[in-house]
Every structure is written in structure tokens, then in C-alpha cells.
Structure 1
Amino acid sequence: MNHNTPAPLSPRPLRHLIQTQRRVMSGAQLKAHGVSTASAHEQCRAGGPWQQVLPGVYLLHPGPPSSEERLHATLLYAGRTQERRGPLDAVPVQPAAGDAPPTPAAVYTDALITGLAALTLHGFSSTPPLLSLDHIDVIVPRTRRLRSTEFARLVRATGLPTPVQIEGVPVAPVPRAVADAVAQLSDAGAVRRLLTEAVRGGHCEPAAVVRELTQARLLTRPHVVDAVDSLLAEGRAIAEDRLYTMVREYGLPDPVWNVDLRLPGGPHLGGLDAYWPDQAVAVELDTRATRHGVRQEGDELWNEYARKREHLERLGITVVHITPRKLRESIEQQATVVRTALMASGDRDPAAYVVVLPR
């Protein structure tokens, strides 16, 4: 007897398969359970119990797919999978009465959900429910020989971002998902809502979104440029609010806010977000992102920051640089840095006299 020959298809293994597996499977997964392609197609005949929802992907019930099934169907079509199995799952067996049926979890590679579907999974309130989306965007390597079809829309990329796992689904990070969603949107209001929620909801910093939009070459679109301008203003306002919160909640002395410094009768020294005149300590928020891209060390704006800082420190003024990300992720640590600078002021030589003006 040839033990390598699959057993003939019968109603019992099909019923067992529906009970013990996720209800959406690829043709390769079905073959691993002894179901041939011909048998799968027979189950998908008109009025049959199964349906083929994407090429090579089968739904093991006749009704419409759920939102979870659409996500997994898209990943099964676009990516590569392997099943995480325990030692007893190698060969399907009929579960004993009262036992919970095993549900092996697929491990997907070379594909991750992006765009509006990804943002909905990240918890965005401004994106539609998954079931109402006409398409589910999925990032795949540029070399994959696939095409968009039905509700699966491919987004080709030279390199895939590191996925975020949300309930077993590999999802693009928020900045990348925002850029892929914006690429499909022509409504300025919808774009602005997405960008605003990304920042206001604490999902990411404006600089990360602008970087992804720049790499996707979306900043040539006027409605995207306008939304980015609003995003940058929103991001700075949030960072300023966190700075106020840091001073108040961590017991720092009140500074003068948003000021310009000048030498008496001399040149303008630059603007500062917070300044403690008695201690000659300043805080400057580093929000170096523009709608043309993200500023990097060595560029013109960075050099301007560095020149101002060096000039002020030559005058005896300590400048503490704080990024919006540090304020969001480690506000207590930033408060400690500022407090240390204030306490150390008594050990330094007196600073030069400067004129403090409202900005």
C-alpha cells in the first residue's frame, strides 16, 4: 500500500476541516490537508458550500467573508505563509467531545496590510470600517509576480517596512500606512483628517509622516501640501502644549515663553520656546520638518540651529534641545534635564546681559 497517496475526499474530512481550521485557506493549505485543487473547485460550484474569493484562496462557507477573513484572504493571496503547529497538529484528528478545536495561526511573510485598512487596525477613528472598504491594500516586494484583483490591491515596494503585529495580522507602521492611504485619496478633507489624527492621536511624529510622503513623491499634489502645512502646525502646537505640561507637572519654575533674545543695541540672537532669565537656561523645541521633507543634520536649517546654540552658549546661556518625540515618550527625563541645567547655573560664570522680547 502506498502511504504517500492522499485518502479519497469524503464529507467527513471536509466537515472536520471547517471545524478545525480558520475558514479561509489557500490552495496550498488545502492540499496539505488532503484536498486537491479539483476537489476544492467542486466545493465552489454554484450553490456549493465553499467559494473562491481570490485566486488560490478559498472561503470555507457560502456567506460573505467577514472583515477578518478578507484580511487573511488578502495576505494568503499576496504573501507566503507557514502554519505554526504544535506536535499534535501535524495530522488533523477528530477532536474529542467538549474539546476546543485547534486553530493554527498563519505566519505571513513578504506581505503586510497598509493604507486605510491598516489605519483602521491601528485604531484610527477617521477611517472606514474594514467591511466597507472596496480594497485592502497590501505591500509586497516589487519582484513578486502578482497583480491586484478583486478586493486585494497590491502596493509594490523595494523593501518592506518592519510590520506591527495586530491580532495576528502584519500591519504597516502608521507613517507608511498614512502615505499609502493618501496616495489613493483625492479629497483634501480626508487627507487632512488622516494626517491630523496620526499626530493628535499620538500615533507618530509629523516628521515621520512627512518623510514617508516625501519618499512616495506625494508632495507635488496641492491638496497634500496644504494638509502637510496643517500637520506641521498641529505637531508644533502639540509639542508646545506638552512643554507647558512638563513645566507645570514636574514643578519647574515658570519661564518666560516664546521670546526673542537680542544683545543690547546689537543683533538678534534667535527665538526660544522657553527661557529662564535668572538662570540663563533656554529650551528650544526641535521641530525640523518642512513640507519639502525632513531636515537632516548638515543641512541649512540644522546649521542655523547649531550656529544659534553655539552663539548663545558663548554668551553663557545653556540651551536644552528637546524633540517632540522625547516630550511624548520620556517627558519626566526631559524635565530632569532642564532641572539639572537650572540647578547648575550657580556654578557657571554669569551670562552676558541680553534683552528679552516677546516673539
Structure 2
Amino acid sequence: MARSTISRRCGPGGTWRILLPGVVLLENGEPTDEHKIEAGLLHAGEGSILTGVRALARYGLRNLPGTEEVHVLVPAERSVADCAFVHIERSRRLPKPRERVGVPTAPVPRAVIDACRRTPDLDMVTAMMAEAVQRGFCLPQALADELDEARRGSSLRDALLPILGGARSVAEADAWNLWQRSDLPECRWNVRIFDANGTFIAKPDGWCDELAFAWEIDSLGYHAGDVGFRDTLARNARYAAAGIVVLQTLPSRLRSEPGKVVAELRAALDSARLRPRPDVRLR
């Protein structure tokens, strides 16, 4: 098509719109996210791969930062630059892409680490890592392996440590870090507890098996609703019937009152030591 025709149709009052150099949207409205992704891959060239936040959204992850950026991986030798909403990353270790709704997309571990590297909010970094593991998109070790391959900074490694330790949310990561900074006995995270007959009791956020002590990080948002409140009462009743000592803590207090929370944990653990350990076990 003649350049003059493209120029005329993309000019003021025209019916088309230039998105990127050499990439034209055949309508004049605002481009959708899908338009931007397709345009970014066209700009990057053959063999390019979508990664980062937009890739994670295609897998169905929800705890994602808001961004207009389309992050694309290209071979290291390719000469193409960032432009508008497209961030180009040259890589000597391109992953094998997976087709997600017709788009070549990086595997979840690579997409998570790529997204985390460009996210300054460490809580959001933890949230992305935790959701990817919690919902079964990848194993914690896959994130660790990808981070080792990327050879990136200590802040991401610090954010990953609670996930490797068993935390599955930002609040649980705060709890994990608080417990690690204390001199409290060993704690396991998100393990399933059963009574002597093999009947399921609960899956506490934190579990001290030595003393059969459960620590629950209970947010108002989840546990205050009708269903959440009913489920919490039923869980606590199962704890009581099994003889398990349990402490419930609001997530906000892990940061606002860490010293008081540790003191409460010590007191609860002391109470657990005073009674015979109940016949409960973890799996």
C-alpha cells in the first residue's frame, strides 16, 4: 500500500491509527490490550515472546501491578529498540514459548521473574510469586531456578525466601519473616493437620509440631463475611476439640506491632507446653 495512503488514513480525522513504526491499527479508536500485545510482537519481529505482567495475565493470574507496558523477549543479536508501550529485552536464554490464546508466551516461572524485576513494590513482587505457587502454576523451586539463571539482585531473593519456606501470601510472608527473626521453635507453613483417626482438622498458616500449636493470620476482609466467619468458627472448633492451642493475628499487626505479636506467640507457646501434646499429626 502506498505510504501516502497510509499517511492520509492515519492523519487527523483518518480512519486508521499508527501504533508503532510500521504497525498500523485499522481503526481510529483507543487500542485494546490485545492490540498492544499483537503490535508489540510485530514490532519485535519473528520469534519474539511475550513475558512479564501481560504474560501472567494470559495465564489467569490476578495479583498483578497495573502497567501499560508490553514486555517482549527477543534474541540477543536482534537490533530492535523500546518504543512507546513496548519494552524490548534481548536475551541469550530465550525460553520455549507456550501458546496462550494465539500468542507465544514465556512459561510462568520466567514471566514471574521478568515481571518482578520491573516491579518496584516488593509487596506486589511477593504477591505475584505467592499466587503463582498457591494456584499451582509453578513450584517454588522453579522460581528459585529461574532467579538463579537471571542472576538478579538480593531484593528478589529476599522476597522469594518466604515462598520457599511455605508462605503463600504477602501476610504469610510477613509472618514467616517475623518468626525467622525471633528465637521461637521450628515452624512449618501451610501443612495439613489430622487427628489420630486420620480426620482432617485444618491447614494452619503456621504450625509448631513440637507443641501442636497453630498460628492463623486472619484478615478481616476474608473472615468477617458470613461464609468466612462460619468457616473460621468451624475451624476453631476443630482446633479446640483436638486440644490444639491456636493464636489468631491480624495481618496489619505483623508490621505495626511486631514486638507485641512475638510476645503473644511466646505466651501461647508457653501455654501449649503446659499440657500434654495431643495426638495430632501433619502431612
Alignment partner, residue 45 of structure 1: 11
Q: Cα distance 1:248–1:111, how it changes in 2: closer, same or farther (>3 A)? A: farther
How far off its partner does 1:36 sit? 2.8
Give the alignment partner of residue 226 of structure 1, picking from 158, 167, 177: 158
3-state SS in 2 of match to 1:191: helix
3-state SS in 2 of match to 1:153: strand
Alignment partner, residue 163 of structure 1: 97
How far off its partner does 1:248 sit? 6.0
Alignment partner, residue 144 of structure 1: 78
Alignment partner, residue 53 of structure 2: 116
Unaligned runs of 5+ in 2: 168-187, 200-207, 211-280
CA contact (8 A) 1:199 1:234 kept: no
When structure 1 is superposed on structure 2, of 42-51 and 134-143 the one drifting more is 42-51
Q: Determine if the alignment matches structure 1 residue 204 to structure 2 residue 138.
A: yes
Q: Determine if the alignment matches structure 1 residue 189 to structure 2 residue 123.
A: yes
1:248-303, CA deviations, whole angstroms, 9 ceiling, x for partnerless residues?
Answer: 69xxxxxxxx999xxxxxxxxxxxxxxxxxxxxxxxxxxxxxxxxxxxxxxxxxxx
- Looking at structure 2, the residues matched to 37 and 208 of structure 1 have their Cα atoms a distance apart, in angstroms, of 48
- Looking at structure 2, the residues matched to 38 and 77 of structure 1 have their Cα atoms a distance apart, in angstroms, of 21
TM value normalised by structure 2: 0.59
3-state SS in 1 of match to 2:133: helix
- Looking at structure 1, the residues matched to 8 and 162 of structure 2 have their Cα atoms a distance apart, in angstroms, of 55
How far off its partner does 1:233 sit? 1.4
How far off its partner does 1:210 sit? 0.7
Q: Give the counterpart letter for 1:232 in structure 2.
A: L
3-state SS in 2 of match to 1:121: helix
TM value normalised by structure 1: 0.47
- Looking at structure 1, the residues matched to 74 and 198 of structure 2 have their Cα atoms a distance apart, in angstroms, of 47
Match runs of 1:5-20 below 5 Å: none
Give the alignment partner of residue 63 of structure 2, picking from 117, 126, 129: 126
3-state SS in 2 of match to 1:177: helix
Larger Rg: 1
Identity %: 34
1:49-108, CA deviations, whole angstroms, 9 ceiling, x for partnerless residues?
Answer: 11111111001111110111111111111122xxxxxxxxxxxxxxxxxxxxxxxxxxxx
How far off its partner does 1:188 sit? 1.3
Count of residues paired in the alignment = 183
Q: Cα distance 1:259–1:192, how it changes in 2: closer, same or farther (>3 A)? A: closer
Alignment partner, residue 251 of structure 2: none
Q: Determine if the alignment matches structure 1 residue 54 to structure 2 residue 20.
A: yes
- Looking at structure 2, the residues matched to 37 and 165 of structure 1 have their Cα atoms a distance apart, in angstroms, of 34
When structure 1 is superposed on structure 2, of 140-149 and 153-162 the one drifting more is 153-162
1:100-144, CA deviations, whole angstroms, 9 ceiling, x for partnerless residues?
Answer: xxxxxxxxxx1111001111111111014xxx5221101111111
Unaligned runs of 5+ in 1: 1-34, 81-109, 250-257, 261-357
How far off its partner does 1:42 sit? 2.2
1:183-240, CA deviations, whole angstroms, 9 ceiling, x for partnerless residues?
Answer: 111211011101111111100001110111122122x333x232111111127845x5
Q: Give the counterpart letter for 1:221 in structure 2.
A: S
Q: Cα distance 1:248–1:139, how it changes in 2: closer, same or farther (>3 A)? A: farther
- Looking at structure 2, the residues matched to 141 and 36 of structure 1 have their Cα atoms a distance apart, in angstroms, of 31
